[in-house]
Each structure stands twice: as C-alpha cells, then as structure tokens.
Amino acid sequence: MPRKSLKVDDRLHDYILDNTLREPEIARRLREETAGMQGAGMQIGPEQGQFMGLLIELTGAKRTLEVGTFTGYSALMTALHLPEEGQVIACDVSEEWTSVGRRYWAEAGVTGKIDLRIGPGAETLQTLLDQGEAGSFDFAFIDADKSNYGTYYELALKLVRQGGLIAVDNVLWNGAVAEPEIEDDDTRAIRELNAHIHTDERVTMSLLTIGDGLTLARKR
C-alpha cells in the first residue's frame, strides 16, 4: 500500500476524466466559455463539480451556501443535484463574472434555486446571521478570496446546522502551502486556516487531494 496519495499525472488525469466524468452538456459549455476568460483558473475542475454533486446528495442538502461563485459552475452543479425545493445562496463581488453563470442557470432551468447576492461575502454571511439564519444551512462551499478564508469559515460554521458540511477549496494552493519560502498573504491565510481546522474540535474533518485540495469539515 502506498503511504501517500497517488501522484496524478496528465495521463492518469485524462483516464479519470475519460472513464468517470458525467458532466452535463450545459455544464461543459459553461466550463468551456469560462476557460477563455481572464481568471479561468478559478473555476473548479469538472471531476470536482461531479464530486460536489455527490456531496449534495449524500448530505441530503436542501439549503446551501456558496462564497465565491465566479462564473457559476459550482452553483450550477449544486443546483442540478439539489431537490426541487432546494436553494443555493451564492455570494460573489462580480456582476460581470456571475452574469455568465446566470445565462446557463436560466438555460438549465435552475435560476429559481439560485439566490445570487452581489457584495462582499463576509457581509452577506453576517446579514444571514443577523436575520436569524444560524444553523439553517446543510452545506457551504468556500471558494472566494483567500485572505478572508478564516472569516468565511467561522461565519459558515455558524450558518450550517449540526451535521452540516463545509467544503473549503484550494487548501493546497498549487503546493505553495508546503513551500516555506512562499510567504504571500494568500498562502499564509490558507496555511492558517488549514492549521485551525486541523485542531478544531467543533468539526470532523478530512483534506482530499482532489483538484487544488478540498477540505471537508462536518459540524459536530
């Protein structure tokens, strides 16, 4: 048994995509349109979108939160796996990026499931708390500006119910977290959150090496 996770080179990654991907055609088109845009690297990979769909079904989620929507791929995949009455509250600062997603959400017939809130994510989450929404979400996906990751995690932990799940994206930051000489603000913020979740007794957690690293934390 290998001690480490298997190193996934391009060939193996292609094998995974060719043999396991079930990407809806509309999601593929959204992903391809985004790939030609500036900031395309912020989009999650299709195998991760598929995994998030599985997580939505596994947790039986009905109400979900997303901090960092970008062009709407993860919100689309979440909405497609939510039940009819399900809802995503999607937070982003950019009208321009999310307007791309809105076109595809409409075409997929999931616009009614996605409540887009434009503005700083921490303010949107705090507003939800002020409105008495603590403990009312089943799932939260954190994938926004890394310098505020700690704030988003703490707010999300208040907003999800006991047994609810938080997924935090980019926790390996293309390997930078393990390179001591890399000391920029984003890398530091991710390292700090990783260390915090590691010892956070309020959650059961695991870091998956899918995509750029995805930490799952289930509220106890």
E strand or H helix that includes residue 154 = helix 149-159
Q: Kindly tell me which of 40 and 106 has the beta carbon lying closer to Ca ion.
A: 40
Strands 160-169 and 214-219: antiparallel
User: Nearer Cβ to Ca ion, position 146 or 219?
Assistant: 146
Please report whether residue 66 would count as binding Ca ion according to CB under 5 A.
no
Q: Which is nearer to Ca ion, 36 or 180 (CB)?
A: 36
Distance CA 88, CA 137 (A): 10
CA 105 and chain centroid, separation: 17
Contacts with Ca ion in 119-158 (CB under 5 A)? 143
Q: How far is the CB of 169 from Ca ion (least distance, A)?
A: 4
Nearer CB in complex with Ca ion: 133/145: 145
Asked if 169 interacts with Ca ion (CB under 5 A), we say yes
Amino acid (1-letter code) at residue 201? E
Dist CA 37 CA 31 (whole Å) = 10
Shortest approach of Ca ion to residue 40 CB, angstroms? 11
Give the integer Cα–Cα distance in Å for 103 and 126: 28
Sequence-ordered list of residues with C-beta below 8 angstroms from that of 86, at least 6 positions apart, any chain: 61, 62, 63, 64, 79, 113
Total interface residues for Ca ion by CB under 5 A = 3
CB nearer Ca ion, residue 148 or residue 170: 170
Residue 116 amino acid letter: L
Q: Which range binds Ca ion by CB under 5 A, 4-12, 73-81, 162-170, 195-203? A: 162-170
Output the smallest distance, CB 93 to Ca ion, in A. Answer: 15
3-state class (DSSP) for residue 166: strand
Report the nearest approach of Ca ion to the CB of residue 149 (Å): 11
Q: Is 92 in the site for Ca ion (CB under 5 A)?
A: no
Other Cβ atoms within 10 Å of 25 Cβ, number: 8
Among 170, 191, 193, 194, binds Ca ion (CB under 5 A): 170
Query: What span, in angstroms and rounded, lies between the C-alpha atoms of 194 and 79?
Result: 28
What is the residue type of 94? S
Window contacting Ca ion (CB under 5 A); options: 5-13, 71-79, 115-123, 161-169: 161-169
Question: Min. distance of Cβ 215 from Ca ion in angstroms?
Answer: 12
Shortest Cβ 43–Ca ion spacing (Å): 8
Binding residues for Ca ion (CB under 5 A): 143, 169-170
